[in-house]
Amino acid sequence: MYIVSGCLLGHNCKYNGGNNRNDGVMEFCKNHRYVAVCPERAANLPCPRPPAEKVGNRILSKTGEDVTEAFERKIPIVKEKQLVILPTTCGTGSEVTNISIAEITSKHTKMGLADDAIVADDAVLVPELLKGLPFKFYACSAIDALVHATESYVSPKSNPYTRLYCRAAIEIIIDVFQGIAANGPEYRFERLGDMLMASNYAGIAFGNTGVGAVHALSYPLGGSYHVPHGESNYQFFTEVFKLYNAKNPSGDIARLNDLLCVQLGVNENPYPVLDELLGKLIPKNKLRVYGMKPEEIQGFTSSVLQTQQRLLANNYVSLSEEEIREIYKVLY
């Protein structure tokens, strides 16, 4: 199954009311299963509509409206159209959250916009839409879902209901990862529906509890060096949780550790085995591999403290500036 831009198929959904019909694409679709999609029309944007383009580090419409301002919370978010979301990865959970993420290049980081105006009116889960997802993107998004579930589990805002969803997500995701490790990447096609549901469960959980330091520390790396979201989260995942465990081993993290140990088949300290399992999907790299420089350790630390307080408020335990800096140093 392929997802094809509607305008390439001759659908008049382009901003100016026309299309970008492409005969090569038309010929390709004659012999393949496909779904025609126009994200703008799916969001009920008008056609024709004012065009938008990137100007420097900002996105401006033809009328001059700066949509970057929305992520800096300088303009109100108003929901004017029905929103239907069909996830095409198995990681974001955005079909059941009020959160959107954008790379703000002027700030060299990513920022989140959390507003009930962007909650979907309807969510549709179609496992077949994952079939064309390259394995690395599949793995990155699935690891992101696992991070959502684990960060939600230990969030101070968690509760018995959200932990039910976290547990379900963690059990499915680790089971699928173990299947891939044993049978190869093609195994994922047998479990597309399961993984999509796991992402959805994790989305329901963190949509109520938020995520914490793993996401917060990953944003400067992703925003500065364009590292895929799930991959950048993975670099910080177990290091943050090992620090959580060291600072307060007897709270919710003890129950999370028990769950991970059962799923991974170990008696204690699940994080080395979890790292080994995730490493069979995508490599865990030193941060310098992505281009990060030693002098950026302090800059990234300051960026997290200045721009990610929304996430740091969801930490299992509070982390000091020195502790955040030390994580960057260890992983550099």
Q: Across the strands, what pairs with 66? A: 60
Q: Give the C-alpha distances (Å, rounded to integers) separating 302 from 109, 288, 296.
A: 11, 18, 10
- Summarize the confidence of residues 30-45 as an average pLDDT: 69
Is pLDDT at 111 greater than 80 in this prediction? no
Higher pLDDT pick, 103 / 258: 258
Q: Which of 263, 119, 134, 130 minimizes the C-alpha distance to 195?
A: 130
Q: Give the integer Cα–Cα distance in Å for 89 and 295.
A: 35
When pLDDT is cut at 50, 70 and 90, the band that residue 68 belongs to is low
Residue with tokens 């307080």: 309
Please give the pLDDT value at position 293: 96
Cα 93 to Cα 169: distance, rounded to the nearest angstrom: 11
Mean of pLDDT over the chain: 88
Higher pLDDT, 46 or 97: 97
Spatial CA neighbour of 260 closest among 91, 147, 137, 142: 147
Instruction: Give the pLDDT confidence of 248-295 residue by residue, as tens digits.
Output: 999 999 999 999 999 999 999 999 999 999 999 999 999 999 999 999
For the chain, list the domains and their CATH numbers.
2-123 (no CATH), 135-331 (1.20.1090.10)
User: Is a pLDDT exceeding 90 seen at residue 161?
Assistant: yes
- When pLDDT is cut at 50, 70 and 90, the band that residue 113 belongs to is confident
Cβ atoms of 282 and 183 within 8 Å: the answer is no
Please indicate, yes or no, whether the overall pTM of this predicted structure exceeds 0.95: no
pLDDT for residue 26: 82
CA distances from 212 to 119, 123, 239, 244, 259 (A): 21, 25, 13, 11, 20
Give the per-residue pLDDT at 52.
Answer: 61
- The mean pLDDT of 213-217, rounded to a whole number, is 97
End-to-end CA distance of the chain: 40
**pLDDT average, residue stretch 75-79:** 72
Rounded to whole angstroms, the maximal C-alpha distance in the chain is: 63
| pLDDT higher than 60, residue 220 | yes
